[in-house]
Structure 1
Amino acid sequence: MASSSTFNRWLRPEVYPLFASVGVAVGICAMQLVRNISTNPEVRVTKENRAAGILENFEEGEKYSQHSLRKFVRNKPSQIMPSINKFFSEPNI
Protein backbone atom coordinates (compact mmCIF):
# COMPACT_ATOMS: atom_id res chain seq x y z
CA MET A 1 0.00 0.00 0.00
CA ALA A 2 2.87 2.39 0.75
CA SER A 3 4.35 2.04 -2.72
CA SER A 4 0.99 2.86 -4.31
CA SER A 5 0.67 6.13 -2.36
CA THR A 6 4.28 7.05 -3.18
CA PHE A 7 3.62 6.34 -6.84
CA ASN A 8 0.50 8.53 -6.81
CA ARG A 9 2.32 11.30 -4.93
CA TRP A 10 5.25 11.64 -7.34
CA LEU A 11 3.73 10.86 -10.72
CA ARG A 12 1.46 13.83 -11.07
CA PRO A 13 1.45 16.32 -13.95
CA GLU A 14 2.67 19.04 -11.56
CA VAL A 15 5.91 17.13 -10.96
CA TYR A 16 6.84 16.62 -14.64
CA PRO A 17 8.80 19.93 -14.90
CA LEU A 18 10.84 18.88 -11.85
CA PHE A 19 11.65 15.53 -13.46
CA ALA A 20 12.56 17.29 -16.71
CA SER A 21 14.89 19.81 -15.05
CA VAL A 22 16.61 17.13 -12.97
CA GLY A 23 16.93 14.96 -16.08
CA VAL A 24 18.54 17.82 -18.03
CA ALA A 25 20.96 18.51 -15.15
CA VAL A 26 21.94 14.83 -14.94
CA GLY A 27 22.39 14.75 -18.72
CA ILE A 28 24.69 17.80 -18.66
CA CYS A 29 26.75 16.24 -15.84
CA ALA A 30 27.02 12.95 -17.74
CA MET A 31 28.03 14.76 -20.93
CA GLN A 32 30.78 16.67 -19.09
CA LEU A 33 32.00 13.48 -17.42
CA VAL A 34 32.24 11.65 -20.73
CA ARG A 35 33.96 14.67 -22.32
CA ASN A 36 36.55 14.82 -19.54
CA ILE A 37 37.25 11.09 -19.54
CA SER A 38 37.50 10.78 -23.30
CA THR A 39 39.18 14.00 -24.45
CA ASN A 40 40.94 15.69 -21.49
CA PRO A 41 44.70 15.36 -22.02
CA GLU A 42 45.37 15.26 -18.26
CA VAL A 43 43.04 12.32 -17.57
CA ARG A 44 44.59 8.93 -18.19
CA VAL A 45 42.34 5.92 -17.66
CA THR A 46 44.59 3.05 -18.76
CA LYS A 47 47.58 1.91 -16.75
CA GLU A 48 49.97 2.33 -19.69
CA ASN A 49 49.02 5.98 -20.13
CA ARG A 50 49.33 6.68 -16.40
CA ALA A 51 52.85 5.27 -16.39
CA ALA A 52 53.92 7.92 -18.91
CA GLY A 53 54.08 10.59 -16.20
CA ILE A 54 53.64 14.28 -16.91
CA LEU A 55 53.50 15.06 -20.61
CA GLU A 56 54.37 18.44 -22.09
CA ASN A 57 51.70 18.34 -24.78
CA PHE A 58 50.59 21.95 -25.06
CA GLU A 59 48.86 21.57 -28.45
CA GLU A 60 46.47 18.93 -27.16
CA GLY A 61 45.70 21.00 -24.06
CA GLU A 62 45.02 24.07 -26.19
CA LYS A 63 42.71 22.06 -28.42
CA TYR A 64 40.81 20.77 -25.37
CA SER A 65 40.43 24.15 -23.65
CA GLN A 66 39.51 26.12 -26.79
CA HIS A 67 36.56 23.99 -27.87
CA SER A 68 34.00 24.98 -30.50
CA LEU A 69 31.47 26.54 -28.09
CA ARG A 70 34.15 28.77 -26.58
CA LYS A 71 35.31 29.81 -30.06
CA PHE A 72 31.70 30.62 -31.01
CA VAL A 73 31.05 32.93 -28.04
CA ARG A 74 34.55 34.48 -27.91
CA ASN A 75 33.67 37.74 -29.72
CA LYS A 76 30.03 37.97 -28.66
CA PRO A 77 28.89 40.50 -26.02
CA SER A 78 28.56 39.01 -22.55
CA GLN A 79 24.93 40.05 -22.20
CA ILE A 80 21.80 37.98 -22.54
CA MET A 81 19.79 40.60 -24.45
CA PRO A 82 22.14 43.40 -25.52
CA SER A 83 19.55 45.41 -27.47
CA ILE A 84 17.16 45.58 -24.48
CA ASN A 85 20.04 46.45 -22.13
CA LYS A 86 21.17 49.20 -24.50
CA PHE A 87 17.62 50.56 -24.75
CA PHE A 88 17.21 50.87 -20.98
CA SER A 89 20.77 51.90 -20.05
CA GLU A 90 21.65 54.55 -22.66
CA PRO A 91 19.78 57.86 -22.52
CA ASN A 92 18.05 59.17 -25.63
CA ILE A 93 19.53 62.50 -26.69
Structure 2
Amino acid sequence: MANRWIRPEVYPLFAAVGVVVGICGLQLVRNICINPEVRVSKEKRSAGVLENFDEGEKYAEHGLRKFVRNRDPEIMPSINTFFSDNPPS
Protein backbone atom coordinates (compact mmCIF):
# COMPACT_ATOMS: atom_id res chain seq x y z
CA MET A 1 0.00 0.00 0.00
CA ALA A 2 2.75 2.49 0.90
CA ASN A 3 4.57 1.58 -2.30
CA ARG A 4 1.68 3.00 -4.32
CA TRP A 5 1.72 6.39 -2.53
CA ILE A 6 5.41 6.95 -1.82
CA ARG A 7 7.27 6.96 -5.11
CA PRO A 8 10.72 8.41 -5.89
CA GLU A 9 9.08 11.08 -8.06
CA VAL A 10 7.48 12.73 -5.03
CA TYR A 11 10.65 12.97 -2.89
CA PRO A 12 11.43 16.52 -4.15
CA LEU A 13 7.88 17.53 -3.25
CA PHE A 14 8.31 16.10 0.25
CA ALA A 15 11.62 17.96 0.58
CA ALA A 16 10.10 21.28 -0.56
CA VAL A 17 7.13 20.93 1.78
CA GLY A 18 9.47 19.96 4.61
CA VAL A 19 11.61 23.06 4.05
CA VAL A 20 8.54 25.31 3.99
CA VAL A 21 7.16 23.75 7.17
CA GLY A 22 10.58 24.20 8.80
CA ILE A 23 10.73 27.88 7.82
CA CYS A 24 7.21 28.45 9.16
CA GLY A 25 8.11 26.69 12.40
CA LEU A 26 11.25 28.77 12.85
CA GLN A 27 9.28 31.97 12.26
CA LEU A 28 6.66 30.93 14.80
CA VAL A 29 9.32 30.13 17.40
CA ARG A 30 11.06 33.45 16.65
CA ASN A 31 7.81 35.35 17.14
CA ILE A 32 6.94 33.57 20.38
CA CYS A 33 10.42 33.93 21.86
CA ILE A 34 11.62 37.42 20.89
CA ASN A 35 8.74 39.44 19.41
CA PRO A 36 8.10 42.38 21.77
CA GLU A 37 4.35 42.33 21.05
CA VAL A 38 3.86 38.66 21.96
CA ARG A 39 3.54 37.89 25.66
CA VAL A 40 3.13 34.30 26.76
CA SER A 41 3.42 34.59 30.53
CA LYS A 42 0.67 36.15 32.67
CA GLU A 43 3.05 38.67 34.24
CA LYS A 44 4.00 40.16 30.89
CA ARG A 45 0.41 40.10 29.57
CA SER A 46 -0.84 42.18 32.47
CA ALA A 47 1.48 45.03 31.43
CA GLY A 48 -0.81 45.90 28.50
CA VAL A 49 0.52 47.89 25.55
CA LEU A 50 4.14 48.87 26.02
CA GLU A 51 5.82 51.79 24.28
CA ASN A 52 9.16 50.01 23.96
CA PHE A 53 10.50 51.24 20.64
CA ASP A 54 14.08 50.08 21.25
CA GLU A 55 13.04 46.45 21.62
CA GLY A 56 10.83 46.68 18.53
CA GLU A 57 13.67 48.18 16.50
CA LYS A 58 15.99 45.40 17.67
CA TYR A 59 13.43 42.78 16.60
CA ALA A 60 12.78 44.36 13.19
CA GLU A 61 16.41 45.09 12.32
CA HIS A 62 17.83 41.60 12.77
CA GLY A 63 21.23 40.41 11.54
CA LEU A 64 20.10 39.05 8.16
CA ARG A 65 18.39 42.32 7.25
CA LYS A 66 21.50 44.29 8.20
CA PHE A 67 23.66 41.90 6.15
CA VAL A 68 21.66 42.24 2.91
CA ARG A 69 20.70 45.93 3.21
CA ASN A 70 23.38 47.43 0.92
CA ARG A 71 23.82 44.48 -1.43
CA ASP A 72 22.51 44.03 -4.94
CA PRO A 73 19.40 41.82 -5.12
CA GLU A 74 21.17 39.04 -7.01
CA ILE A 75 21.52 35.39 -6.17
CA MET A 76 24.64 34.72 -8.27
CA PRO A 77 26.25 38.08 -9.10
CA SER A 78 29.33 36.66 -10.84
CA ILE A 79 27.24 34.63 -13.27
CA ASN A 80 24.88 37.58 -13.84
CA THR A 81 27.76 39.90 -14.72
CA PHE A 82 29.36 37.25 -16.93
CA PHE A 83 26.25 36.88 -19.07
CA SER A 84 24.99 40.49 -18.99
CA ASP A 85 28.02 42.81 -19.14
CA ASN A 86 29.77 43.67 -22.37
CA PRO A 87 32.95 41.67 -22.85
CA PRO A 88 36.21 43.65 -22.49
CA SER A 89 37.60 44.94 -25.78
* TM norm. shorter chain > 0.5: yes
Q: CA deviation at 1:81?
A: 3.9
TM-score computed with the length of structure 2 as normaliser: 0.83
Q: Of residues 58, 66, 70 in structure 2, which corresponds to 1:71? A: 66
2:35 aligned with 1:24:
no
Q: Which runs of 5+ in 1 are unaligned?
A: none
Q: Which runs of 5+ in 2 are unaligned?
A: none
Count, aligned residues: 88
Residue identity matched to 1:47: K
Q: CA deviation at 1:13?
A: 1.1
Matched position secondary structure for 1:54: coil
Aligned counterpart, 2:41: 46
**Among the aligned pairs, what percent are the same residue?**
70
